Amino acid sequence: MNNKSVGFDSQLYLKIQSEKIIERAKQFNNKLYLEFGGKLFDDLHASRVLHGFDKNIKIQLIESLKDKAEIILCIPANDIEKNKIRSELGLSYDIEILKSIENLRERGLIVSGIAITLYKGQAGATKFGKRLQAHGEKVYFLGYTKGYPYDVDTIVSEEGYGANPFIETSCPIVIVASPSPSSGKLATCLSQLYHEYKRGVQAGYAKFETFPVWNLPLKHPLNIAYEAATADIKEINQIDPYHFNEYGTLAINYNRDIEIFPVVKNILKKITGKTMYVSPTDMGVNMVASAITDEKLVKESATEEVVRRYFKAECDYKKGIIDFDVLERNRYLMSELDINEDYIEVVPKTKNIAKTSGFPCVGILLSNGEFVYGKTKKVVSASAAAILNALRTLANLDDDFNIIPDNILLPIISLRREYLKLKKQLLTLDDVLIALSISATTNEKAKKAIEALPLLNGCEAHATFILSSAEEQTLKNLGINITCQPVFLASNLLD
């Protein structure tokens, strides 16, 4: 795929999405709690499936509302306790919260407080909360809601939401966000509404999600890609029956929102004294479809993402990270689109090189359509060799020119073998990139290679084996979409 192609207009999306949020806030006397789905920063899934989607458009959206909005960040106590990791960035969710706070404040945005949700005295969560408080942050511990989900009278009482602390806010729009799913954002919003109405403030609630896209077909590749991304938490797209019964039109939502809607509807009515919404789709504010400029390109991008998720599931199952039903779900979604793993062009090209050479291989399809690869040999890993070959090509350097001289590479090999006593003698991708950056201080061609690194962003890559977690993360950090065959190399078994 040509990386210069665009299927989504981020600036149009920014304009119409912010207008819709402001419009929704006005419906509730300018006090809206907006449950914010997905990632605040680095929404890499959306940027892959919506070609042209700015991965940080959501934070730009909040910046456009800067004079009207503030933010509450939620993190579930159990995610802190389990040290849960966001795989795409390699960060634990508690560390991502800290980074988010810093990034938001740098942009002049207000973080009203951090809500540690689903709290029942977990030691790790308590320690994390105290750490934040030591840095001057306002931390609120929100427990499990008594009576939830069916005893509405208890939920909407001093024993239920009333048992939670009230988070003081002053802006007309309060964005409730989290780095993780199932984070207690809804409970935080409803708890705040309960306290607001007790204080005589008739606030409202709405939900901002990017996916699924409610006004695209149920089996649109964009919506199927969302199912693939959430297969581990068993989210399934469905036609919203409440919306259809009320309006006679089809709208897409996902199973958890549809299943819990009667409960949410009753809770909102108990708090406010009126029916706020007649369908889960009505709760949402989602203008994604209006900013799609090339339907064909978006379908292709989303279909490729389903393949990537399939490869990830295959490898995660091989590593023992997920159960078989998650893998089976990803396989099913592939079959729904009538595709196989060779749908992404780089995959069959790389497998063919490995088959004919007999070596483990990493292949990269560059944005100009050229295919380069690297094989595992005596000195450098397949990933490192592939990146070096890609940089030589992108920087228009001679194929046979050694851009990292031996007097830089050999000492690293000696250090690993003689002093660090490492069994793996191959130089990793990180080793080679550091060596290349050192070479760039005195070598013009190495400098050109370093300057070509941004051109790797958005490229497709495939490995015929499971990469080490360190090399996989480095490739992701370079913006490369990497997939792997579910095959262990003996040297990676302990990684």
User: Quick one: average pLDDT of 395-403?
Assistant: 76
| Statement: the pTM of the whole predicted model exceeds 0.85 | yes
Domain 344-492: assigned CATH number: 3.40.140.40
pLDDT band for position 183 (50/70/90)? Answer: confident
Percent of the chain with pLDDT over 90: 79
Among 16-30, 289-303, 386-400, 467-481, the minimum mean pLDDT is found in 386-400
Nearest alpha carbon to residue 242 among 214, 256, 261, 269: 261
pLDDT beyond 70 at 259: yes
DSSP at 420: S
Query: Which pLDDT does position 159 carry in this prediction?
Result: 97
Pairing of β 204-208 and β 237-239? unpaired
Query: Which pLDDT does position 396 carry in this prediction?
Result: 92
pLDDT beyond 80 at 260: yes
CA distance 381 to 7: 35
Among 103-112, 240-249, 259-268, 396-405, the minimum mean pLDDT is found in 396-405
* Sheet-wide strand order for 139-141: 139-141, 111-117, 69-76, 173-177, 32-36, 204-208
Among 53-67, 90-104, 171-185, the minimum mean pLDDT is found in 90-104
Query: Which pLDDT does position 2 carry in this prediction?
Result: 46
Chain mean pLDDT for the chain: 92
Reported CATH class of domain 10-291: alpha beta
208, amino acid identity: F
| CA diameter of the chain | 77
Query: Which pLDDT does position 86 carry in this prediction?
Result: 53
More reliable by pLDDT, 485 or 367: 485
CA distance 148 to 142: 14
User: Quick one: average pLDDT of 385-409?
Assistant: 85
Indicate if the alpha-carbon torsion angle 282, 286, 287, 292 is positive or negative: negative
Contact 481, 306 (CB under 8 A): no
428, amino acid identity: T
Per residue in 208-228, pLDDT (tens digit) is 999 999 999 999 999 999 999
User: Quick one: average pLDDT of 189-201?
Assistant: 97
pLDDT beyond 80 at 4: no
Per residue in 136-156, pLDDT (tens digit) is 999 999 999 999 999 999 999
Domain ranges of the chain: 10-291, 344-492
pLDDT band for position 346 (50/70/90)? Answer: very high
